[in-house]
């Protein structure tokens, strides 16, 4: 199969670097365009990103000498791009919204890691195993916005909720409705990009505040679990969520400690573990290249999951869960972990792109 040419906006950042690493040998997609801020534009990728390269591999040879383009220079976009991944940061969300709209208007689908469009009602916010039907919103968005050349925007949700939401969704589809969740996250420093959190703030320390993160953790699940309506997603507000988000001295891997209360039927511990271990969804049925074989892995060892030991399970795409036990206030509590820059960012978006391709929504 001839590979599809794609672009990465924000290719020099932490998430952008992960795209380059993960896509190096992708069977369907080939990187044909690299863009970042005006600071990097005109330089080779190695000159622009070399000093802040964080990946455990060398910069791929195929990328090193590519000249970085300015994200906002719309005239220099190669003609043959099928879509772009967006991992840019900008001073305001409105600026990001505008850039992403401009690509969609030009006919280029955008799969974004940014939070800017997460609450745009006709923009789907996708976790491949949960709400793959939300891609039905794409034709509605194209009509609403006059994207008549095939462009559209889809986004990926916040990285920390990837750790626990699939586990919650698996219980819901098995018929065990959740009433309340209390979530405490322990989030890795790579979640703040590069250079991110100052070392003196986080080494030997825990920072009990991450701007905007608790709101995202509490609100985004309602859209993800919602249904496609005529004008956009109709949220599902049936689960009450309260969260505390903290930054911890871990490089990669967001952990979430979750207390859950069921609405009526309460499954046994054995049933919950079986539901998690057996959960599969459309990405697994379609055998997509980035789909983890087992999306939720329950670890029996009493002291797991741990970021360093478990974040790379199934190439960083599986969610690792453990420590399921009775809760004295709610019904159960457990600990969940996912790789924030893979499952929670670049890898999750690559899976979304594969779903879109499998559904013929990108050419």
**Rounded Cα–Cα distance for residues 11 and 6 (Å):** 12
Query: What minimum distance in Å lies between the beta carbon of 55 and ligand NAP?
Result: 12
- The verdict on 277 binding ligand NAP (CB under 6 A) reads no
- The verdict on 202 binding ligand NAP (CB under 6 A) reads no
**Percent of residues in the chain assigned helix, strand, coil, to nearest 5:** 35, 20, 45
In the range 30-89, which residues lie near ligand NAP by CB under 6 A?
A: 36-37, 39-40, 71, 87-89
Query: What minimum distance in Å lies between the beta carbon of 153 and ligand NAP?
Result: 14
For residue 268, report the phi and psi dihedrals to the nearest 5 degrees.
-75, 165
**Rounded Cα–Cα distance for residues 29 and 289 (Å):** 11
Q: Which of 26, 159, 245, 339 is catalytic?
A: 159
DSSP line for 110-131: EEE--STTTT-TTS-B--TTT-
Q: How many residues bind ligand NAP (CB under 6 A)?
A: 27
Q: CA angle, 248 as apex, 242 and 254 as ends, to 5°? A: 60
Can you say whether residue 227 is alpha, beta or left, with left for phi > 0 and alpha for psi between -120 and 50 degrees?
A: beta
- Applying CB under 6 A, the span of 19-27, 275-283, 303-311, 339-347 interacting with ligand NAP comes to 339-347
Query: What minimum distance in Å lies between the beta carbon of 88 and ligand NAP?
Result: 4
Does the active-site annotation cover 159? Answer: yes
Question: Could you give the C-alpha distances from 332 to 183, 218, 264, 269, 271, in angstroms and in order?
Answer: 12, 19, 14, 9, 13
- Applying CB under 6 A, the span of 129-137, 189-197, 225-233, 296-304 interacting with ligand NAP comes to 189-197
Does the active-site annotation cover 339? Answer: no
- Applying CB under 6 A, the span of 6-14, 73-81, 269-277, 305-313 interacting with ligand NAP comes to 6-14
Query: What minimum distance in Å lies between the beta carbon of 319 and ligand NAP?
Result: 15
Q: Which of 22, 63, 273, 345 binds ligand NAP (CB under 6 A)?
A: 345
Q: Which of 82, 114, 141, 243 binds ligand NAP (CB under 6 A)?
A: 114
Q: Choose between 14 and 288: whose C-beta lies nearer to ligand NAP.
A: 14
Q: What is the dihedral of CA 122, 127, 133, 139, to 10 degrees?
A: 30
DSSP line for 166-217: HHHHHHHHTT--EEEEEEEEEE-GGGG-SS-S-HHHHTT--B---TTHHHHH
Q: Choose between 70 and 331: whose C-beta lies nearer to ligand NAP.
A: 70
Query: What minimum distance in Å lies between the beta carbon of 45 and ligand NAP?
Result: 10
Can you say whether residue 193 is alpha, beta or left, with left for phi > 0 and alpha for psi between -120 and 50 degrees?
A: left
CB of 15 closer than 8 Å to CB of 22: no
Q: Which of 4, 7, 13, 219 binds ligand NAP (CB under 6 A)?
A: 13
Q: Choose between 178 and 345: whose C-beta lies nearer to ligand NAP.
A: 345
Q: Of all residues in this chain, which one has the CB nearest to ligand NAP in the complex?
A: 13
Question: Could you give the C-alpha distances from 118 to 93, 111, 126, 292, in angstroms and in order?
Answer: 11, 11, 10, 24
**Rounded Cα–Cα distance for residues 57 and 66 (Å):** 18
- Applying CB under 6 A, the span of 131-139, 186-194, 210-218, 243-251 interacting with ligand NAP comes to 186-194
- The verdict on 159 binding ligand NAP (CB under 6 A) reads yes
CB of 49 closer than 8 Å to CB of 74: no
Catalytic residues: 159, 254
Binding site for ligand NAP (CB under 6 A): 10-16, 36-37, 39-40, 71, 87-90, 113-114, 159, 190-191, 193-194, 340-341, 344-345
């Amino acid at each position: 199969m001839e590979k599809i040419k794609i672009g990465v906006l924000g290719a020099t950042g932490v998430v952008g670097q992960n795209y380059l690493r993960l896509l190096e040998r992708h069977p369907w997609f080939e990187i044909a365009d690299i863009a970042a801020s005006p600071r990097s534009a005109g330089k080779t990728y190695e000159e622009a990103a070399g000093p802040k390269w964080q990946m455990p591999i060398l910069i791929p040879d195929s990328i090193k000498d590519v000249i970085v383009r300015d994200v906002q220079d719309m005239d220099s976009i190669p003609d043959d791009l099928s879509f772009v991944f967006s991992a840019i940061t900008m001073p305001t969300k409105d600026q990001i919204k505008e850039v992403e709209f401009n690509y969609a208007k030009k006919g280029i689908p955008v799969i974004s890691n940014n939070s800017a469009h997460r609450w745009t009602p006709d923009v789907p916010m996708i976790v491949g195993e949960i709400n793959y039907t939300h891609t039905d919103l794409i034709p509605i968005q194209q009509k609403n916005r006059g994207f008549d050349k095939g462009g559209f925007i889809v986004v990926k949700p916040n990285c920390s909720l990837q750790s626990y939401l699939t586990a919650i969704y698996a219980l819901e589809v098995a018929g065990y409705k959740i009433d309340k969740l209390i979530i405490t996250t322990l989030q890795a420093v790579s979640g703040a990009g590069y250079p991110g959190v100052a070392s003196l703030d986080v080494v030997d320390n825990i920072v009990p505040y991450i701007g905007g993160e608790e709101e995202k953790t509490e609100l985004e699940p309602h859209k993800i679990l919602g249904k496609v309506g005529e004008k956009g997603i109709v949220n599902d507000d049936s689960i009450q969520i309260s969260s505390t988000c903290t930054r911890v001295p871990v490089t990669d891997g967001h952990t979430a400690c979750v207390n859950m209360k069921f609405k009526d039927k309460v499954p046994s511990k054995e049933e919950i573990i079986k539901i998690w271990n057996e959960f599969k969804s459309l990405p697994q049925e379609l055998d997509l290249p980035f789909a983890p074989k087992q999306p939720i892995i329950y670890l029996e060892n009493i002291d797991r999951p741990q970021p360093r030991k478990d974040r790379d399970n199934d190439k960083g795409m599986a969610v690792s869960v453990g420590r399921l036990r009775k809760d004295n206030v709610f019904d159960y509590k457990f600990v969940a972990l996912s790789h924030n820059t893979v499952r929670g960012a670049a890898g999750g978006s690559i899976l979304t792109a594969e779903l879109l391709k499998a559904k013929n929504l990108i050419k």
